[in-house]
Amino acid sequence: MKTVLFLSPGYPSEMPHFVRGLAEVGARVVGVGDQPEGLLPELTRRSLERYVRVRTLWDEEGVIGELRRVLGDSVVDRVECLWEPGMILAARLREALGAPGLTVAQTIPFRNKEEMKRALDAAGIRTPRHLPAKGRAAIWEAAERIGFPLIVKPIAGAGSADTHRIHDRDELVAAIAAVEHLEEVSVEEFVDGEEYTFDTVSIRGVPAYHNVAWYRPRPLVARTNEWISPQVVALRHPDQPALRAGIEMGRRVLAALGFESGFTHMEWYRKADGEVVFGEIGARPPGAHQVDQMNYACDIDVFRGWAEAVCCGRFGETVRRLYNVATVYKRAEGQGRIRRIEGLESFRARHGARVVWENLLPLGSPRRNWKQTLVSDGFVVLRHPDLETTLAIADEFARSVRLHAN
């Protein structure tokens, strides 16, 4: 039986399912976190053999020392963390405990966008032109060298928070003021094209399972227009010719960065002329319930498949690509609490058979800050074998279902 240390087993919300997957494939799962054990989700508590509560996950030396004391001479076979902020801690624990997996040096390009792009540039993989910048003067200099339009975004982090598209000098002034709280940013070429993911569960660097999702619209647009109901669409046919170059590029990225076993989430662009450009990679799954999307697309359990991959070196789920799956995220109109949901009943009557998960905030719930979470005020997941039908139903939901807050 393999012993797996799992950092932050209760948060984010998908983590209990990964812990459950590990337990189901026979791993002895030791959770490590700073939450009181009684506040962990029930699924997490059922799946853990042991929980080690530390004072804080952000004192790396303290966590390493506490685990050495608690574990003694026990062998740790894997250290897993699927939450972006804990990646470096996980790598330090692997080095301290002699466990396989990404080292600190190997992890840094997955956390630092500039280090990632430098490594991929050296491997001949097309990335946006880019420069790191610390402070106002450096951002201006980088912008002058790259030229408009451009993007300013954090060196580290996940998602599109603190990311700004800039067309001219006036917009650059505003963007610089908005990112003053960041120690360092990446200034890069704006690539105009459709944006996709390439998500993988790899074994010794080779994808054993992969998924391609299409952002409608691309996240930067969705994060700057409150009225939009963003969509993420897991495509039934990820190996179609139009996507082949992006998938091949993603495989080259894994090799260039020396990724071992586990989940990765990549984002890339396909321009109108067919050129593909790599965006970024995380050594983790996508968030916002996109792993659930993968499950619905193939009627499999990717949480368990990942666990089997990292513990047993195989992906035992039978992948049958049955559906396109669209997740449509909703943002309420107005401020305060959700008071009325319009159009939902009629949408259910027309398309209820295609909806596999409805998770809108109930009436009376306070509206969430749409700038801080893609999930916003809830979502619906729907699926259909035909892509055009899937998109039509998703667009209808986006148009016809409205949440009102006051």
Residues 82, 65: one domain?
yes
> Residue 248 is part of a domain; what is its CATH number?
3.30.470.20
pLDDT reported for residue 1: 85
Q: Are 304 and 17 in contact (CB under 8 A)?
A: no
- Predicted local confidence at residue 237, as pLDDT: 98
Q: Specify the pTM.
A: 0.92
pLDDT of residue 158: 59
Please check whether residues 290 and 243 belong to one and the same domain.
Answer: yes
Question: In whole angstroms, what is the distance from residue 267 CA to residue 275 CA?
Answer: 14
Report yes or no on 386 lying in a domain: yes
280 and 313 within one domain: yes
Do 301 and 405 belong together in one domain? no
pLDDT for 157: 62
Residue 123 covered by a domain: no
Residues 340, 368: one domain? yes
Q: Which of 326, 354, 355 is nearest to 236 (CA)?
A: 326
Contact, 367 vs 405, CB < 8 A?
yes
We report the CATH number of the domain holding residue 23 as 3.40.50.20
Q: Quick one: 169 and 200 in the same domain? A: no
Residue 114 lies in a domain: no
> Do 306 and 197 share a structural domain?
yes
- Tell me: do 176 and 260 sit in the same domain: no
Domain assignment of residue 140, given as a range: 129-189
The total domain count for the chain is 4
CATH number of the domain within which 185 lies:
3.30.1490.20
DSSP code per residue over 325-353? EEEEE---BSSSBEEEEESHHHHHHHHGG
For position 160, what pLDDT does the model report?
A: 60
pLDDT at 159: 57
Extract the tokens encoding 288: 């916002």
Kindly state whether residues 70 and 27 are assigned to the same domain: yes
Residue tagged 């992890």 (tokens): 107
Identify the domain boundary among 259, 291, 319. Answer: 319
For residues 363 and 377, membership in a common domain is answered with yes
Question: Is residue 10 one of the residues assigned to a domain?
Answer: yes
Would 262 be classed as within a structural domain?
yes
pLDDT at 156: 76
Burial of 151 (0-12, 13-18, 19+ CB in 10 A): buried
Does residue 340 sit in the same domain as residue 310?
no
Q: What is the mean pLDDT of each run of 10 residues along the chain (406 residues)?
A: 96 97 98 97 98 96 96 95 96 96 96 93 95 92 93 76 88 92 92 97 97 95 93 97 98 97 98 96 96 98 98 97 98 97 97 98 96 93 98 98 97
Residues 308 and 328 in one domain: no
